[in-house]
Amino acid sequence: MVAKITIPKSIEAALNYNEKKAQKGKAFCLHAANYLKDAKQMNFYQKLAGFERLTALNERATTKTLHVSLNFSPLEKLQDEKLLNIAELYMNKIGFGEQPFLIYKHEDAGHPHIHIVSTTIKADGSRINTHNIGRNQSEKARKEIEQQFGLIRAEQQKELRNPGIKPVDAEKVIYGKDETKRAISNTVGAVFTQYKFTSLPEFNAALKQFNVTADRGKEEGRIYKNHGLVYRVLDAAGNKTGVPIKASSIGCKPTLNNLEKKFEANEVLRDALKQRTKTAIDETLPLSKNSMSELVKQLEKRNIYVLLRQNAEGRLYGITFVDNSTKCVFNGSDLGKQYGAAAIQSRLTETANNKSIEQDDKNTGSSTGRLQNEFAQKNEKEKAISLSSKTETPLDELLSTKEQYENVPGNLMRKKREKKKRNNKNF
C-alpha cells in the first residue's frame, strides 16, 4: 500500500476534485465518517458545510485540509468493505479518527486506490499537527496495515511501477555508434541483471517492450557462426534500425555465452514465481470479451507484457508473458498446458460462450417459469376432465372403496343378516 499525503490550502478545492470525478463516473463516495448523514444523502454543499463548521473555529491556521490517497497493487482485488475498513483504520492511526472525513473510491487508473478528504481543525478549535505526518505517523500506519491485511508492500509496488528501465525512443536516437550505445546500454543492462529468462527468445521478449532486441544475425553470417551477439534498436513497427552494438562492448557483458549461463539458473529461480502470473491470467480472462487484444490490454494493467507470435498468415502459434512485477519471462506452455496459445484462445471462447448462456438463462428465466406453470395447470385440468368423464365398469364397482367392508364391526354385520332373514320370512 502506498500512502500519499498532501495539505491543500482549500478544503473546497480538495472536495471539488473528488466530486468532479464522481460526476464523470470515475469515482464515488464510499463513506462519510463522523457526519450526521450518510454520504448518499448529502450533496456537495452539505459535505462542504461539515468541514467549514470546524475550519471557522480557527482563523489563525493557514492550512486546514488533509488530502490522502491510498494506492494498492493492480494484483490486489479489494472489495469496497475492505477498502472502507483500511481507510478508517488508517485515519485512526494517524490521529484523524474523530475528525469528519470523506472516503472516495477512484476507478480511473489501472490499480485500486482511494482518496480521503478531512480537516485538521478539531471540535475545540485546535489544529492537528501535520508536520512530518507522512514520514512518521503515516509510514508506521502503512506498515501495520500492510501486515494486518496481507497487502503488497509499498516498497515492492514502487519497484513494479518504476522498474528503472525506459523504452528507447528510436526517433530520438541519433544513429551514430556512441549515441546508439548510450541509448540501449541501460536497458540491456537492467534486463540482463534483473529479469529471469531461460532462452534467447525469452530474453528478447523482455527487451522488446523497451524497443531493443538481441540479434544473432543470419545463420550463414559471421556473427552467428562465431557465437556472437549484437544489440539493436527497434522502431515503432518493430523493425531493426540504427547501428548494431556488440554485446562485448556493453558494461555488463551480455554476450551469448554469459546469457546461456543464466538460462539454467533462472529455470529454478523463476519456478516459485509462476503462480502470480497464472493467477493474473486466470482473473483477467473473464474480463477479456473473447478478444486476445483485450486480454493483452487487461494484463498490461496488471504489469504483464504479452508477446504474441504469429506466422505469415497471421495465425497465432505462440505466446510469451513478461511479468514485470516478478521480473519473470514465461512461454505460455511453461506455465502449464492451459496457458499455451491454443489453450488461451480456447478459454477465451469458452468464457464468452458461458457468458452468453448465462445471459440467455437470465433473459428467459422468467418466461420459462411462466411456461412451466401454464403447462402444469394444463395437465391438472386435463387430468380432472379425464377422471370426471370416466365410465365405471362392473369390475370398477367391485374394486371401489365404497363396496369394501373389511373394517365394519362383526356384530353389525350379524344384525344386518338377521334382519334380512326376517324380511324373507314375511314373503
- Cα separation, 302 vs 294, in Å, equals 13
Give me the average pLDDT of each 10-residue run along the chain (427 residues): 89 93 91 94 94 94 93 83 95 96 86 92 95 92 92 68 61 65 86 94 94 93 94 89 90 93 90 91 88 91 92 90 94 93 90 52 51 57 48 44 44 54 53
pLDDT recorded at residue 109: 67
Q: Which helix (H) or strand (E) holds 240?
A: strand 240-246
pLDDT at 214: 96
Q: Residue 102 and residue 91: Cα distance in Å, rounded? A: 11
- Please give the pLDDT value at position 148: 92
Contact assessment for residue 27 and residue 105, using Cβ atoms and an 8 Å cutoff: yes
Phi-psi region of 194 (alpha: psi -120 to 50; beta: other; left: phi over 0): alpha
pLDDT for position 387: 46
pLDDT score at 112:
83
The residues that bridge with 328 in the sheet, in sequence order, are: 196, 323
Half-sphere exposure of 323 (CA within 13 A, CB side): 24
Find all residues with CB under 8 Å of 179, minimum gap 6, and list them.
173
State the pLDDT at residue 82.
Answer: 94
pLDDT for residue 181: 84
**Sign of the C-alpha dihedral, residues 144, 145, 150, 156?**
negative
